[in-house]
Amino acid sequence: MCDVVEVVAIVQLVATQENTRKGAQLATQYLSIKAAIKFFSTNPTPRTVLRWMKRGVHDRRVPNTTNRIKLQSICEGAYPVTTIEWIRQFQEACENNVKEQKR
């Protein structure tokens, strides 16, 4: 037979494991282009986000090259999707690109 303390400890452990799983799912949750727009510091159009996924933006740190910074994405069926983490990485890369260009 379990004590009340043991039952409470088991319930807390299960709740913690469940929250960890939900957090991991949220971190890898794929966003459509329309949903991804909310996570940008600017307010891009869906067409702009699609262009960032397909063609990217020029990497101006290296002159006279065709280097581009792209928003990482995968295709879910026929539609491109991205994650919050990939959006954050793309924005950081673009900000670093602008900072180094101003030097």
Distance (Å) of CA 1 to CA 4, 21, 58, 98:
10, 29, 67, 65
Three-state secondary-structure class, residue 53: helix
pTM exceeding the 0.85 threshold for the entire prediction: no
Query: Where are the strands (E) in 9-86, listed by range?
Result: 57-58, 68-69, 74-76, 79-81
**Which tokens in the block code for residue 69?**
């910074």
Query: Per-residue confidence of the chain (103 residues) as pLDDT tens digits?
Result: 444 445 444 545 455 555 555 555 555 799 999 999 999 988 899 999 999 999 998 877 666 667 788 999 999 889 999 999 999 999 998 888 776 666 5
